[in-house]
Chain A
């Protein structure tokens, strides 16, 4: 899952509290500011949640829209396929 936005206080808190409220477990987290843009990648496990992938995805997108965050959640396989031989 990736989050990009104009850097400000509280982005991690907002995203992580939403994930926590849906019982999505965070396995790994990486955050940096690239060219002035807040950039965060998270490896999450949705199997711990009682919500479906679709519901989690919609909730994240909704949060993104209300707080001007660009959020994507997708299976990690796509990155492994494209960047690992």
Chain B
């Protein structure tokens, strides 16, 4: 039998430190749903998702009860819709968006991702149709998440797409102005998007993926925070070791749940995503982990180094605990979804420039950041361009999920509710970048992309 203190440690992690499985995400290929008639295509998509995901939520709940570990989200990711809808004669892809929304509601999942296009090198007609349908789709549906990949290390940055996405984000905010621009919380602009990410809003079922796959996202900022409280004033060698050990345990649990879900659903296991994903709950914050390392407030000088250590140690600890690691795997720093980040912004210590620096060393990018509603599309595009450059040059994923909250100004707060949280509206550098964005074309791939 196991040691009593080991058992109690696990029970306490779940009861008091918010240890949970953040998401079980079922990836479904929709390539076989293509049809020249968009209504038929939407029907095929609805039917296929409902059939493949019919037991996802009930199986998730069953595992949750038997193993005593909360599984917060059950979600679905699908083939980028621009690829599925390319054969359709009608170019109003919001019809497919509605089919996705209805299928997600029917299956009982809380988000469906994949209203997406991959345009890092250029647009197909279908990509343009999809991108133009994003504002309408996100304003008329509840559970659909959208993402657009505008850059890769191999292809460089598609600056036409960067310019377009600034406008699309603005339009999405305006169409969802009643709810503080919540549509933008479901829209991610990526560089180096990964094909097996289980986390929303950026999940989609990539090109190289099988027919169906189970990907699991673990979490546990609260557990890491508690573990670091026990090694206060110790050197960074001990801090790194403590994070690694904790990440190992969290990931082992994720792998076990992934195996159980895969076996019970009869769907192959894909990856465990080793991310530390915060929630707005007290004690489930990545910012508080950084502060526990000795920073007065997240955003103080030293924050980037602290985050670099955390991100690296999470990966090192997690990688041995899982058969296949993938997705984004690292620490997330979404502002509105992290109680400590919100507090740091409200104190005036954490700003967009510091967050941008932090994205150089963690797994994603500028995430869930609310900015004044009058921020221009060109400035949003320029923010995306900077993030894409960080991703492309460092061969890592970066993303921008930014909300120009309509009629809100610096100092106001926007409320999204639930896991999306509440975000203080942050100050944006208003110097113009419009001539820069207007140039268009592509920023070439960096020299280190030529590895062959």
Contacts and interface: CB of A to CB of B under 8 A. Distances in A.
Interface string A44-71: 0000000001100100000000000010
A78 B67 contact: yes
A82 B69 CA distance: 12
B56 to A, nearest CB: 19
Contacts, number: 64
Nearest to B255: A81
Contact of B253 (A41, A76, A78): A78
B67 to A, nearest CB: 5
A23 interface: no
A74 interface: yes
A54 B252 contact: no
A76 B8 CA distance: 12
B324 interface: no
Interface string B106-143: 00000000000000000000000000000000000000
Nearest to B5: A34
Contacts of A41: 1-2, 4, 7-8
B11 interface: yes
A83 B253 contact: no
Given A72-B11, A75-B66, A82 B4 contact: no
Interface size on A, as a range, is 20 to 34
B376 to A, nearest CB: 50
Contacts of A84: 2
Contacts of B452: none
Interface in B248-288: 249, 252-253, 255-256
Interface in B1-51: 1-11, 15
Nearest to A2: B11
- Secondary structure dominating the interface of B: helix
Nearest to A70: B15
Given A81-B253, A81-B255, A73 B10 contact: no
Contact of B68 (A32, A43, A72, A83): A72
Contacts of B432: none
Nearest to A54: B65
A82 B253 contact: yes
A81 B250 CA distance: 9
Interface size on B, as a range, is 20 to 34
Contact of B69 (A32, A78, A83): A78
Nearest to A43: B1
Contacts of B9: 83
B4 A81 contact: no
Interface in A20-50: 28, 30, 32, 34, 39, 41, 43
Interface centre among A70, A82, A83 (most CB of B within 10 A): A82
Contacts of B6: 79, 82-83
Contact of B66 (A39, A43, A53): A53
A76 to B, nearest CB: 8
A53 B1 CA distance: 21
B65 A83 contact: no
A74 B68 contact: yes
Contact of A30 (B4, B66, B67, B69): B4
Contact of B2 (A34, A72, A73, A80): A80
B67 A77 contact: yes
A82 B66 contact: no
B441 to A, nearest CB: 51
Nearest to B1: A28
B378 to A, nearest CB: 49
A74 B4 contact: no
A81 B252 contact: yes
A30 B10 contact: no
Given A57-B65, A74-B69, A79 B252 contact: no
CB-based closest 9 A-B pairs: A74-B68, A81-B256, A83-B6, A28-B1, A81-B252, A82-B249, A30-B4, A41-B7, A78-B67
Given A79-B10, A82-B253, 4 more contacts: A74-B68, A75-B67, A78-B10, A83-B10
28 contacts: A4-B8, A4-B11, A32-B4, A34-B8, A39-B4, A41-B1, A41-B7, A41-B8, A43-B1, A53-B66, A70-B15, A72-B11, A72-B68, A74-B67, A74-B68, A75-B68, A76-B2, A77-B67, A78-B10, A78-B68, A78-B253, A79-B2, A79-B10, A80-B2, A81-B256, A82-B6, A82-B249, A83-B3
